[in-house]
Chains A and B, each alone.
Chain A
Amino acid sequence: MGETIPLGHSLAGGALIGAGAAVLLLLDGQIAGVSGIFNRILHRTFGDQLWRIAFLAGLFLPALALGVGIIDWQAPPWQLAVAGVLVGFGTRLGSGCTSGHGVCGIANLSLRSLVATVTFIAIGILTVELTHWGSHA
């Protein structure tokens, strides 16, 4: 399962993500944590929303221009709904997701973000193993 991704694409894609985070931090002094940006737009109580909306508009642009490519959905809609609630709840409670903790936090040498990242990757692995239980030959 999954696409065969050239190593260079994986690395260069990561470098682009890191470059986005670096530009936002170096020039705007803001953290490119997608769950934080999304949550603060939802709650609308944080002022200075324009940069967040601009970041999300930029985030959409490459996919709008080039198409999002292959999407192999891994779950039926009800499971996506359950997963979405858990992702929204967990990232708000835990103050970050793959981008905020996994990229920005670790790049900031944050022990807190390292612990968060190890936790969500480990629990993610465990969840996949449990849902795939019995389907592995």
Chain B
Amino acid sequence: MTAAVAFVAGVLFGAGLLLSRMTNPANVIAFLDVNGAWRPALALTMVGAIAVALPAFTIVRARGASLLGRAVAAIDRTRIDWPLLVGSAVFGIGWGLSGICPGPGLVLLTSADPRAFVFIGSVAVGAYAAALVPSVKNRG
């Protein structure tokens, strides 16, 4: 059941990435290129996604559980620390250098283009490297 739900969720998510054209790195770079030929389309995509997800998060946060009664652990929503800031900044550099974040990057694997495999293989290397940082290691 949980896997079937996750599969459906993945299909919706993947369809959204395709329809919004986030899978084309040029569209992401065009969103970030505010001083050039800026295209704000990705901001609309974010607004659409947040608008639909917000009620679900509000319901589950209030219940402390999913609709099926599965307990959902409270997530820290306030702690601003160095791993968060440095990690997000490092991610921003990689995102700006490539125009690819993890979701679209994985979807690009379906093109069978070797560049997609170079990117995702490198993401894995970076993730393993981050696990060596003490604050990440202690987090588990």
Chain B residue total in the interface (Cβ 8 A): 118
Q: Which of B1-54 contact A (CB under 8 A)?
A: 2-27, 29-37, 39, 41-42, 44-54
Cβ contact within 8 Å between A83 and B48: no
| Residue in contact with B18 in the complex, picked from A13, A52, A90, A121, CB distance below 8 Å | A13
Number of inter-chain CB pairs below 8 Å: 495
Are the C-beta atoms of A60 and B77 separated by less than 8 Å? no
Q: Is the Cβ of B6 less than 8 Å from the Cβ of A74? A: no
Residues in B whose Cβ lies below 8 Å from that of A66: 18
CB distance from A41 to the nearest CB of B (A): 10
Q: Is the CB of A10 within 8 A of B94?
A: no
Residues in B neighbouring A28, C-beta threshold 8 A: 2, 5-6, 9, 66, 68, 70
Q: In the complex, what's the smallest C-beta–C-beta distance from B88 to chain A, in angstroms?
A: 4
Q: Write the chain B residue with the least CB distance to A125.
A: B32
A4 to B127, CA, bound (A): 34
Contacts of B25 in A (CB 8 A): 71-75
Q: Are the CB atoms of B30 and A1 closer together than 8 Å?
A: yes
- Can you report 26 A-B residue pairs in the complex whose CB atoms are below 8 A from each other? A3-B27, A7-B41, A10-B21, A13-B18, A14-B44, A17-B52, A20-B16, A29-B60, A29-B70, A58-B13, A59-B13, A59-B107, A73-B115, A74-B29, A75-B97, A75-B99, A80-B118, A80-B122, A86-B91, A87-B105, A88-B129, A89-B87, A90-B94, A112-B79, A120-B92, A128-B96
